[in-house]
Structure 1
Amino acid sequence: MKIYRVQLKAYYLEKMKKFYTNLLQMQLVYEDERSFAVLAGTTRVYFEKDDAQPYYHVCFHLGSAFFDEIYNRLEKEKLLLSNEEGETSMYWKGKQAYFYDPDGNILEILERPFQQGEEESDGWYRVGEIGMPSTNIYELRDFLSPYIENQYKIEQDSFSFFGKEEGVGVLVKIGRNWYPTDRPAEVHPIKLVVSGNTEAYLTHPTLPYEITVRKEWSTLVPAVQFRIARPTNQMEKIIEFYGKGLGLQKVGEFQKHEGYEGVMFGIPDKSYHLEFTQHESGKPIPHPPEDQLLVFYIADTFMWNEMAERLLRMGYRQVPSENPYWDRGGITIEDPDGYRVVLMNTVGI
């Protein structure tokens, strides 16, 4: 599963914000009096002020060079945790290290491959693990299984991974020590947004866990097909923008049909698609209002940035949104006809 968003409780809120933004070099993307959020690659991590001091286990994935940089920063501050052999630099399918943040959360950095393409990205990749203590890890696995794909088997009744290589819940029995410390696992509130098999909002009946499961492209609308149709007089440029620029797949086209030619782009397939038509007479196309938008919610920050940069390199224009909401977490770009496409780097509603 991809872990899009993690929301945890925090006690030393100001210290935590400085730790994550200054020492760990994560981008601050939101703050108010009682919370803040940072960007760890493709994962947004939110901390919300609490009167108690909870602690969690969170593992961050990153590449080799950035691992070394963060490791050296932590070593300089004497924050690294050692294992039973006294080692702070470990190895499990990649470089590995553990440390505390100001709240006492047991954090891990783990070298893992970059999954968006062959070329690795600088900085953080994602949250790869989130600890989820419970009284019965079999029950918690059964609770999640209908909604989230899982490749791991339970080999002991006190510990198991749940999910896939790109992201897992670490299911542990309450009281089991978090490696490499002697601190026993405790239950504290967790809110997650993750990818899964189907759209779902899960609240565990006894544990304070809320999990929103998002299917990246859903077909839950009870219709056999849905089309958004629009005229244009610039067919070649439209094909370039939506095909090469946005990266949508062409799912159909036609020529000389009662004076029209047309092309269809799937979002992502024929079930939901855009159609652009052009009449041989070149009928005038009215200029659209600035608040008429086509919005794509792209949870993966790397892919979102890649799409936006590709369109800008092709010469298409970024514009400020009429509604400032879309400029917070998104970018608005005009297509050849002046219609606006918003690329939002959030998980949506």
Structure 2
Amino acid sequence: MDHKNSQSASYAAAGVDITAGYRAVELMKKHIARTKNEGCLDDVGGFGGCFGLPVAGMEEPVLVSGTDGVGTKLRIAQLLDKHDTIGIDCVAMCVNDVICCGARPLFFLDYIACGRNVPERIAEIVGGVAEGCVQSGSALIGGETAEHPGMMPVDDYDLAGFSVGIVDKKKIIDNTRMRAGDVVIALASTGVHSNGFSLVRKVFDVEHNENLKEPVEALGGKSVLETLLTPTRIYVKSILALLEQVDVKGISHITGGGFYENVPRSIPDGLCARIQKSSVRVLPIFKLIAETGNIPERDMFNTFNMGVGMSVVVPAEQVQTALDILNGHGETAYVIGEIVENEEKVILA
């Protein structure tokens, strides 16, 4: 589209440069092109993103949607002036929820609000979104960038997204089939992912502590800020592979609220996930957070993923098959507990 006649000196004087928006779209198109899949029907730039639903072979197609943002992890990206991975987090927070129902993510839309539209930075952010879409098999079919002068500092921005997936109704994850004796498998996280950052920022005093950019031996030589910015792992493709061969009875995405809030969401009444804390492979960053902030263990497990980004419940006789599939698809998967009869929903012992 030719935008040479679209400019407003009055709007620019109020703090909004619409030509910067056009420039940002041009810069991000190469990233968006990487995400195209069989459902894409048009190019970015129209008023709506069109997508053809792949329903062949499905008896009752069901759409599953998820929306989320990145939260205050954005502040870490801004402190490091590194904006090319935060979009992965945005996609992950949505598609990792959608896959918990057994749905394959189809497409994604993002929304960026900023104090000032710097096209190169917006393109960096969208580049990360595109990478998250590639990792999850989603098409990035649209989005929106809005300048908010006077409401946000010029270098500030917020990022949110929206995912839609599809699943045949008969294949939606049904936890009513869960039984005592089923086994809980952990899929390792890559770090803090995108939750608990208000506490993280308080513990490390990120606005004033320059030491956070220095290498830390316990973190593998990375700095605290680098470690915190590690993108959220996307589990979509490995879970889809698992669903093809294993009778998965429940999936939990471990986000804000940690184990105590998220594991129970996939457990039916009358049953409980009994987790062996000694089996959880706690990542070094969580140990550092707990020590630095003097945070009780229960609060840690009730705020962070502690090294477990997702948990799945499978029949005992299919545990080895599940582990082989997940580890074969690049996950670090291992047993952390079992399902027992109890009204507590989750017990960490």
* Larger RCO (CA under 8 A, 6+ residues apart): 2
Tell me which structure has the larger Cα radius of gyration.
Answer: 1
TM-score by length of 1: 0.25
**Greater strand proportion:** 1
TM-score by length of 2: 0.25
